[in-house]
Amino acid sequence: MALSHNLGFPRIGRDRELKKALEAYWRGELSEVGLRSTGQQLRATHWQVQKEAGIDLLPVGDFAWYDQVLTHSLMFGVIPERFRPKSGKPTLETLFAMARGTVAAEHGSSCCGGAHAQEMTKWFDTNYHYLVPEFTRDQQFALSWEQLFEEVKEAIALGHNVKPVVIGPLTYLWLGKAKGEEFDRLELLESLLPVYGEVLQRLAGLGVEWVQIDEPILSLDLPQDWKNAFERAYNLLQRDPLKKLVATYFAGLEDNLGLAASLPVDGLHIDLVRAPEQFPGILDRLPAYKVLSLGIVNGRNVWRTDLNQALEILQQAQERLGDRLWVAPSCSLLHSPVDLGREDRLDEELKSWLAFAVQKCEEIAVLTLALNDPNNSQVQAALELSRSVQATRAASPRIHKPEVQARLAAVTARDSQRHSPFETRIKLQREHLQLPLFPTTTIGSFPQTSAIRLARQSFKAGKISEAEYTEAMYSEIRHAVEVQENLGLDVLVHGEAERNDMVEYFAEQLDGYAFTRFGWVQSYGSRCVKPAVIYGDLSRPKAMTVEWIRYAQGLTNKVMKGMLTGPVTMLMWSFPRDDISREQQARQLALAIRDEVVDLERAGIRIVQIDEAAFREGLPLRKAQWNNYLNWATEAFRLCASGVADETQIHTHMCYSEFNDVIESIAAMDADVITIETSRSDMELLDAFEAFDYPNEIGPGVYDIHSPRVPDTREMVQLLRKAARRIPAQRLWVNPDCGLKTRGWAETEAALVNMVVAAQTLRKEFA
């Protein structure tokens, strides 16, 4: 019999119960007992839902109070000195301190006795963020946290057939960072493994048969010593009890296939959604005793699986594997929304195309049933339904827009080229814009005050009219313009008061996007995002931002910058279609945004900024695929930016600090000006600009907007001097490192006053 299992279920709850409970607990409005009971109820509900869907083997250990990597750090006793309890075992308080810092740190610095939180970073190429383990050279490991065992007992007591999930030793070490003196994290492997041994012993004692050991780093380009360490580690773990399933996901195994297939464990899971080409080759590489788990249902998107197509692959696998075949989602369902059943306002047709975590479990179960009992009537009905869903979706006129396709087909290479090269453009732009040396500007948003949010809510709820709402926003714009004029900034912005979110705002105005009400996915801790769904060809029925920007420009003689979100970021922060490539979707978005850029120019706007905050995060996990991505991503950006005259200046903004490996592509985007985040890394990032002669203008962020701290002029002057040593002064801009929407007005004005003085100082020095 083939077996169905799940790699992990979303923990947040279909109504975000965990988020609400956590936040109430942090505010002191819910007791620890109350919080724990919410967690317990959620786990019980989630196991029950999966069992009812028909999953044979349920994951345990996928629940976390904040983050599963953090839970492992507690389990292994990897608790940085600053959080270590004076006596006794770590508590929930220890866990939340590691995740969020202690009081003084929450207010933005660690100067006053507070401990700063552990660093947080993206979990592979997802939008989930984990807490980076901190290792010291003399790191000791000791079993220090009972959560996994308690939850296994809990599930068994409820009568479930469970498979605990742990992060494998190599992935865990890989995800961490060496603190203090530099050393090789692999040196810690020998002392970490005995703790895994203890964990497996304890689980065996509870009557568990299988354990899932996640080693997603097997889908990365691994250095040779890490590959070697896999063999060493699993040879040692082999002595410990339990059947072990090593799980890999997010990309193909490629050069690690031989290694992964031959590890001395009892099963291997591979991701056939991200890397379908692994099949059927994998069947020849797998030792005859091993279970193969095929991740055939997409754990990272919202579309229904084509069951007939999936079944064909599974049947082929079954012929070779028999009972050794398991059916699974591609990765943990942590990355998909919880329950489509909760969506009461989606139209029925669109809804029939979608599957969230609960529905994905049903798909896995019915595929397994189809293998075990092909003539079962439920199976026949499901296959038939899937066939018809796929057919209607493929033929649906709401997906295929001939105008969009015709326009895309007519795009030529010229369309993604500005008329003249940068050197020509910049001369014209300088004449046209008449800006001083070291021009000052901001990244776009100004504080999103509670008054703004209230106005938006009232408008959405129908409590105020459109005219009243527009007037409220106009009044915010007037205020923003007045403040900027008083500050003496050179290039102004309208402040983005009317935008809830930089992607959603545009998605709501494009055809081809749909919105869920409850499609939340955990981003970190209690924070969730609700990405919009791209379901059809994308187009812009009418101008999206022109009226706001035109109004703002009308209030001032200074240059007003138009503000848009770029095609790559729109795509990365949405659920994309699965029936056409990401590249094609990016091109459709590019054409829609191009029209907006051209309309802004026509309305007299001389500078347009197109934000590409997510440009770098689109990079594939494997280096070999980088070029392909970078080519289409830069091309999409250029396509949206190249419809304007040479005099119109195009800016872009990116919010991260690792540029070295993509700097050439950033140059290839050919924006006239790029503003970037540098202040936190003390302009270190500009090293990239030293090694590579970046040709266009740059605004390296001179202060960190992520903290309410007001930087003084002196530090900004120093940063600018540092920048001017690497980049010619004529090409430097002066700006904060990101938008100001999360800040208050008082600190924003105070910081900008100092920033303007810093720019004036530099102007004198370079006059």
- Binding partner of residue 72 among ligand GLN, Zn ion, none, CB cut-off 5 to 8 Å per kind: none
- For residue 120, the minimal CB distance to Zn ion (Å) is 16
Sheet (strand 267-271) strand order: 3-4, 325-329, 291-297, 267-271, 243-247, 210-214, 162-167, 58-60
Q: Is 503 in the site for Zn ion (CB under 5 A)?
A: no
Q: Are the C-beta atoms of residues 395 and 388 closer than 8 Å to each other?
A: no
Annotated active-site residue in 116, 432, 479, 706: 706
Quick one: what does residue 175 bind among Zn ion, ligand GLN, none, with the CB cut-off 5 to 8 Å set by partner type?
none
Residue type present at position 66: Y
Tally the C-alpha atoms within 13 A of residue 414's C-alpha that lie toward its C-beta.
2
* Distance separating alpha carbons of residues 482 and 708, to the nearest angstrom: 22
Residue that the structure tokens 């990101």 belong to: 738
Q: Which is nearer to Zn ion, 200 or 655 (CB)?
A: 655
Choose from ligand GLN, Zn ion, none: what does 502 bind? Cβ within 5-8 Å by kind: ligand GLN
Between 444 and 567, name the residue whose CB sits nearer to ligand GLN: 444
Q: Are strands 3-4 and 325-329 parallel, antiparallel or unpaired?
A: parallel
In the complex with ligand GLN, the residue whose CB is nearer, 598 or 676, is 676
Of all residues in the shown chain, the one whose CB is closest to Zn ion is: 655
Which residues, numbered 724-753, are part of the site for Zn ion (CB under 5 A)? 738
CA distance 423 to 436: 18
Between the alpha carbon of residue 597 and those of residues 95, 500, 540, 639, 699, the distances in Å are 47, 21, 12, 11, 21
Q: How far is the CB of 590 from ligand GLN (least distance, A)?
A: 18
Q: What are the φ and ψ backbone dihedral angles of 457, each rounded to 5 degrees? A: -60, -45
Closest to ligand GLN by CB, 208 vs 480, is: 480
**Angle, CA 140 vertex, CA 137 and CA 145 arms, to 5°:** 135
Residue closest to ligand GLN when measured from CB atoms: 739
CA distance 448 to 755: 21
Name which of Zn ion, ligand GLN, none residue 643 binds, using a CB cut-off of 5 to 8 Å depending on partner kind.
none
Look at residue 444 and give the partner it binds from ligand GLN, Zn ion, none, a contact being a CB closer than 5 to 8 Å depending on partner kind: ligand GLN
Burial (CB < 10 A; 0-12, 13-18, 19+), residue 325, is buried
162 binds Zn ion (CB under 5 A): no
Strands (E), 543-611: 559-565, 607-611
Q: Which helix (H) or strand (E) holds 534?
A: strand 533-539
CB of residue 443 to Zn ion, shortest distance in Å: 6
CB of 444 to ligand GLN, least distance (A): 3
Binding site for ligand GLN (CB under 6 A): 443-445, 496, 502, 563, 611, 613, 653, 655, 738-739, 741
Does residue 107 have an active-site annotation?
Answer: no
Q: Between the CA atoms of 621, 624, 629 and 630, what dihedral angle is there, to the nearest 10 degrees? A: 110
Contacts of 399 (CB under 8 A, 6+ apart): 393, 535, 536, 537, 579
Please identify, using beta-carbon distances, which residue of 643 and 701 lies nearer to Zn ion: 701
> Does the protein bind Zn ion through residue 758 (CB under 5 A)?
no
The footprint of Zn ion on this chain (CB under 5 A) covers a number of residues equal to: 2
Give the shortest CB-654-to-ligand GLN separation in angstroms. 7
Is the previous residue joined to 280 through a cis bond, with omega within 30 degrees of 0?
yes
Residue placing its CB nearer to ligand GLN in the complex, 611 or 635: 611
Q: Name residues contacting Zn ion, limited to 581-610 (CB under 5 A).
A: none
741 binds, among Zn ion, ligand GLN, none (CB under 5 to 8 A by kind): ligand GLN
253 interacts with, out of ligand GLN, Zn ion, none, CB within 5 to 8 A per kind: none
The Cα–Cα gap between 687 and 677 comes to 13
User: Among residues 43 and 743, whose Cβ is nearest to ligand GLN?
Assistant: 743
Strand-pair category, 491-492 with 129-131: unpaired
Task: Quote the least distance from Cβ 520 to ligand GLN, whole Å.
Answer: 20
Query: Of 56 and 611, which has the nearer Cβ to ligand GLN?
Result: 611
d(CA 365, CA 392): 24
Report the residue number, 266 or 496, with the smaller CB distance to ligand GLN.
Answer: 496
What's 30's DSSP letter?
S
CB of 736 to ligand GLN, least distance (A): 9
Q: Which long-range contacts (CB under 8 A, 24 or more apart) does 16-19 make?
A: 16/520, 16/528, 17/41, 17/42, 18/42, 18/526, 19/526, 19/527, 19/528
CB of 609 to Zn ion, least distance (A): 11
Q: Contact at 8 Å (CB) between 195 and 167?
A: no
Nearest to 359 by CA among 295, 300, 305: 305
Q: Report what 95 binds from ligand GLN, Zn ion, none; CB cut-off 5-8 Å by kind.
A: none
Residue 655 interacts with Zn ion (CB under 5 A): yes or no:
yes
Strands 129-131 and 120-122: antiparallel
Phi, psi of 514 (to 5 degrees): -125, 160
Q: Which does 298 bind (CB under 5 to 8 A by kind): Zn ion, ligand GLN, none?
A: none
CB of residue 611 to ligand GLN, shortest distance in Å: 5
Q: Is 358 in the site for Zn ion (CB under 5 A)?
A: no
Active site amino acids: 706
Q: What does the binding site for Zn ion look like in residue numbers (CB under 5 A)?
A: 655, 738
